[in-house]
Amino acid sequence: MGLTVIATIPSNLHGSEIHPDELTGDLADEFAEESEASYAFNATPIIFKLDEDVCGDRLDKVIARLIPQFSRSRLQQWIVSGHVTVDGVAGRGKMTVLGGEEVIVYPQPAPEDNAYSPENMALDIVFEDKSMLVINKPAGLVVHPAAGNWSGTLLNGLLHHFPAISGVPRAGIVHRLDKDTSGLMVVAKTLEAQTDLVRQLQARTVKREYLALVWGRPNLSGTIDSPMARHPRDRIKMAVSDSPSAKPAVTHFQRIAIGVLDGKPVSLVECQLETGRTHQIRVHMAHLGFPLVGDVLYGKQHLASYFNRQALQARRLGLLHPKNQKECSWQVGLADDIAALLVSAGIEYAA
C-alpha cells in the first residue's frame, strides 16, 4: 500500500506486557484464562498521508491495513465516535478515499487499558506484615482483571492499598477464588514472598479448607481423585475428563451436618483442596451428584434460585510464613449470607 507516514506509530501504543515468573501446575491453571497486559495507554495521534494507489478503497479497510495492531471493531468504534478525520473532517467507515488525503487517527482507551489502575476500596485484611497480606474476600469481588471485569477487582484495590506491590507480578496474587466464592486468600507483598508462596502451592503444602452446602446426602467422607479439563462444548465450564489435556485434581471431603432446604435434603461439607483447579470443588461435588446450593453453572437450574451464589466459603488457610518459615493459620467466621442459609436449612454449625 502506498502511503507517507507523517507521524510514526509509537511502539508502546497497544500496551506493554507483564511477563511474570513462569507458573506451572496449579498456578498456571489458576490464571490460564486471564490477560497479562499492563496497558500503558498512549494517546499520541497517528497521522498518515495516503498515496494514490489506495484510490477507490473504503476508509475503514485502509485504516485496518495501516494499523493492524488494533482490532477492526475497535477502529470502527473510533470512526463512529469521530476520532478519525480525513482532511480535518470526521470520516465515515464506508467513505471512499481517493489518495492524497491526510488521515488522523486519535486512539481512544478501551476499558482494559486501565486494568492495572489503583482503586480505593475497603479490603477485609485479616493479617498483614512486610511480606504478605491475608484477605477475607467477599462474594462478588473479582480477583484479577479479565474480559468483562477490567476494573473494580481485588488487584485494583491492592494497588491502592500498597502501591509498591505494582512491582510484583500480578500484584502479588498467587491464587484466587471465584467471583462468587468468599473467604481467605494470601497475597505476597514482595517478589521473594511470592516466589516462596508459589513454591508452597506447587508442593501442595498450603492448606485450603472450604465449607460448602450441597444438595443431597454424600458419604460421610471421601476423596475425589478425578482429573479436570475445559468442558469440550462449553468453554466457560470445567469438567471431569479423561482427555490428554486433563490435569490431576484431588479434593478431600467430609460431611459434617445435614439439613433440609424447602423440603429437599442438603448437607454441609468440609472440603480440603490438594490441587487448585478452576472451579474444582464445584465440579467435583457436581460430578458425584451433589452440586452446590446456588451454583447456576454446575447445579440444577430449577434449584438455582435458592441462593444467589454458590454456597462456598474458604474458611481456613494454613501455610509457612515466606520470611521465617513458621507455621501460620487463619480462620474466618461464616459469611452472613451463608450463615443465614444454614439457619434456613436447620443446620447448627460451630467452627
Higher pLDDT, 12 or 92: 92
User: How far apart, in whole angstroms, are the C-alpha atoms of residue 158 and residue 164?
Assistant: 10
- Tell me yes or no: is domain 3-112 CATH 3.90.550.10: no
- The three grid cell numbers given for residue 328, joined into one nine-digit string: 501460620
Helix (H) or strand (E) holding 77: helix 72-80
Q: How confident is the model at residue 18 (pLDDT cuts 50, 70, 90)?
A: very low
Q: How confident is the model at residue 114 (pLDDT cuts 50, 70, 90)?
A: low
Q: Is the per-residue pLDDT at 343 higher than 70? A: yes
Annotated active-site residue in 29, 60, 178, 180 = 178
Give the closest residue to 156 by CA, choosing from 167, 147, 166, 169: 166
Mean pLDDT over 189-199 rounds to 96
Q: How confident is the model at residue 336 (pLDDT cuts 50, 70, 90)?
A: very high
Q: What is the pLDDT of residue 115?
A: 74
Q: E-assigned strands of 181-301?
A: 182-188, 207-215, 221-225, 228-230, 238-240, 250-261, 264-273
Alpha-carbon separation of residue 121 from 5, 160, 181, 190 (angstroms): 44, 8, 18, 21
CATH class entry, domain 204-351: alpha beta
> What is the three-class DSSP state of 277?
coil
- The three grid cell numbers given for residue 16, joined into one nine-digit string: 506493554
What b-and-e string marks burial along 263-287, b requiring 16 or more CB atoms within 10 Å of the CB?
Answer: eeebbbbbbbbbbbbbbbbbbbbbb
Mean pLDDT over 279-305 rounds to 90
Q: Are 330 and 135 in contact, with CB atoms under 8 Å apart?
A: no
What Rg value do the Cα atoms of the chain yield, rounded? 25
pLDDT in tens, 209-253: 999 999 999 999 999 999 999 999 998 899 999 999 999 999 999
Q: What is the pLDDT of residue 34?
A: 42
Q: Which residue has the cell 462449553?
A: 234
Q: Is the per-residue pLDDT at 71 higher than 90? A: no
The reported pTM is 0.73
Q: How confident is the model at residue 145 (pLDDT cuts 50, 70, 90)?
A: confident
Give the closest residue to 288 by CA, choosing from 234, 339, 212, 179: 212
Q: How confident is the model at residue 43 (pLDDT cuts 50, 70, 90)?
A: confident
CA–CA–CA angle 267, 270, 272 (5° rounding): 145
Q: What residues does each domain of the chain span?
A: 3-112, 204-351
pLDDT in tens, 96-108: 999 999 999 999 8
Q: Is the per-residue pLDDT at 254 higher than 50? A: yes
Q: How confident is the model at residue 32 (pLDDT cuts 50, 70, 90)?
A: very low
User: What share of the chain in percent tops pLDDT 90?
Assistant: 72
User: How far apart, in whole angstroms, are the C-alpha atoms of residue 25 and residue 13?
Assistant: 33
Is 51 an active-site residue? no
